[in-house]
Amino acid sequence: MKSLTELYRIGTGPSSSHTMGVERAAETMKALYPAARFTVTLFGSLALTGEGHGTDRVLRRVLGEGSEIVFDRTTTGLPHPNTMHFVAREGAREVGRHTAFSVGGGRVVFEGEDLCDTPEVYPLNCFEEIKAYVTEQEMTLAEYVFSVEPSIEEYLREVWAQMKRTVKAGLSAKEEELPGGLHVLRKARHLFRSKHIGETAEIEENRMVCAYAFAVAEENAAGGTVVTAPTCGACGVLPAVLYYMQKKHKYSDDAIVRALATAGLVGNLIKTNASISGAECGCQAEIGSACSMAAAGLAQLFDMEIEQIEYAAEVAMEHHLGLTCDPVKGLVQIPCIERNAVAAMRAINAVNIANFLTYTRKVSLDTIIQTMYETGRDLLGRYRETSEGGLAKLYREQ
Ligand code: SF4
């Protein structure tokens, strides 16, 4: 598995695969051919939802306004649903052509070339192995992360600082329309302030967790700075849960960093053994993964045992299986923003279940990760970030 710096990326929304990953690929091309003009052909999900996600804007910003961007919405049988093809020319002469895949969470792989990939740093690649190792070493999952990546603690502090900044930015933003023409109003501030007379502690908890998740997801939709956790589309789940718990229980930033390490380990396992890409496996791979990470992180924050952490992460993923990706107009707004809030509440529920039922469980985290991957591969293409099916097809403005 790769470093957690590859999982938690600080960058600009609204999409890790359609903006952050594409930006990385374009920067690699620009560094290889600084004097060239480019033609970029986008295929699959990048072509079908690229305009809504702002993919063309990112490419022109990095490669130059004169770049030609082609949306090929008809080619099928692609090696990856997020495929892009670059042709570099100097004058009339072609100087290079490369194919790249935006594989989720901002990561890019070039076909047959090692142009911008990073090394593997974790020697163990499944939860069973990691559990056996940390049990033998009498260490926590967070300690395992810090032992493999000694410098990651400092990076996770930056990640947490940015997550808090994004929550605050989203809460303080005016209740105005998000960009893109769907006329979706920001609601985080309204949620945050809507305390009702006689509101129970339970309802208040749900409202606040939702407010924080909306705040981050709305910042993402508006093109603000977010942390992929594990993607931009699902970036509100983990910070909402941790921010709420820090406010409520006064957890230190050190404790939150340990929670981020454990959550990151789970996200890394999903990314390595399955997928965190909506274009590859549907929303279960994005929101489901975020919920699983948040459940693991929260269980770590509560100092729960490793079996309970595993069960919380497993439950959180299991009940997102089959979740489709069908963003209306290709924007990361409907259903994405609400989905972040629902998943944040679900992560807390998963931890509650793990608190009571861990020793009755039947399904391992590794099994559910594999199940999510196979389910995602079986999903029809129109439910994998193409905006050709589901809500994206049937949506009519009220
Ligand atoms: S529906 Fe889910 S996977 Fe698809 S863009 Fe929205 S958050 Fe991402």
Strand partners, 110: 100, 113
**257 with 157: CB under 8 angstroms?**
yes
Q: What integer pLDDT is reported at residue 120 of this predicted model?
A: 95
- The model's pLDDT over 214-268, given as tens digits with 9 standing for 90+, comes to 999 999 999 999 999 999 999 999 999 999 999 999 999 999 999 999 999 999 9
Ligand 1 midpoint to CA 91 (Å): 40
Q: What integer pLDDT is reported at residue 397 of this predicted model?
A: 83
Question: Which is more confident, 398 or 183?
Answer: 183
- The model's pLDDT over 322-348, given as tens digits with 9 standing for 90+, comes to 999 999 999 999 999 999 999 999 999
Q: H helices within the chain, ranges in order?
A: 21-32, 44-53, 55-63, 127-137, 141-148, 152-172, 188-193, 201-221, 237-249, 253-273, 278-281, 287-301, 306-318, 336-357, 365-378, 390-394
Question: Which is more confident, 115 or 370?
Answer: 370
What is the average per-residue pLDDT within 78-104? 96
Cβ of 278 less than 6 Å from ligand 1: yes
Cα gap 78→103, rounded to integer Å: 13
Q: What integer pLDDT is reported at residue 116 of this predicted model?
A: 80
- The model's pLDDT over 149-197, given as tens digits with 9 standing for 90+, comes to 999 999 999 999 999 999 999 999 999 999 999 999 999 999 999 998 8
Residue nearest to atom 3 of ligand 1 (CA): 283
AA letter at 82 = N
Ligand 1 midpoint to CA 119 (Å): 28
Probe residue for ligand 1, chosen from 178, 287, 342 as the CB with the greatest number of ligand atoms within 8 Å: 287
Cβ of 241 less than 6 Å from ligand 1: no
Please say if the pLDDT value at position 13 is more than 90. Answer: no
Q: Which two tokens stand for residue 57?
A: 């804007």
In angstroms, the Cα distances linking 146 to 156, 167, 211, 264, 376 are: 11, 26, 32, 12, 32
| pTM attached to this predicted model | 0.94
How much of the chain exceeds pLDDT 70, in percent?
100
Q: Which two tokens stand for residue 55?
A: 């993919």
Cβ of 40 less than 6 Å from ligand 1: no
**Mean pLDDT, rounded, of the chain:** 96
Q: Which of 53, 46, 17, 106 is nearest to 333 (CA)?
A: 53
- The model's pLDDT over 47-75, given as tens digits with 9 standing for 90+, comes to 999 888 889 999 999 999 999 999 999 99
Name the pLDDT band for 398 (thresholds 50, 70, 90): confident
Cβ of 13 less than 6 Å from ligand 1: no
Cα gap 231→229, rounded to integer Å: 5
- Backbone phi and psi for residue 44, each to the nearest 5 degrees, phi listed first: 60, -135
Domains defined for the chain, CATH in brackets: 10-110 (3.30.1330.90), 127-394 (no CATH)
Residue nearest to atom 4 of ligand 1 (CA): 325
Q: How many residues does the chain have?
A: 398
Q: What integer pLDDT is reported at residue 117 of this predicted model?
A: 80
Neighbours of 393 (CB within 10 A): 12
Cα gap 323→283, rounded to integer Å: 5
Which atom of ligand 1 has the smallest separation from the CA of 285? 3
CA trace torsion 185, 191, 194, 199 (10° rounding): 150
Ligand 1 midpoint to CA 33 (Å): 33
**238 with 262: CB under 8 angstroms?**
no
Q: What integer pLDDT is reported at residue 114 of this predicted model?
A: 86
Strand partners, 84: 42, 100
**350 with 312: CB under 8 angstroms?**
yes
Taken in order 133, 138, 143, 146, the sign of the CA dihedral is negative
Q: What integer pLDDT is reported at residue 320 of this predicted model?
A: 98
Probe residue for ligand 1, chosen from 237, 332, 372, 388 as the CB with the greatest number of ligand atoms within 8 Å: 332
Q: What integer pLDDT is reported at residue 197 of this predicted model?
A: 87
Probe residue for ligand 1, chosen from 339, 382, 391, 393 as the CB with the greatest number of ligand atoms within 8 Å: 339
Please say if the pLDDT value at position 115 is more than 90. Answer: no
Q: Which two tokens stand for residue 279?
A: 């274009």
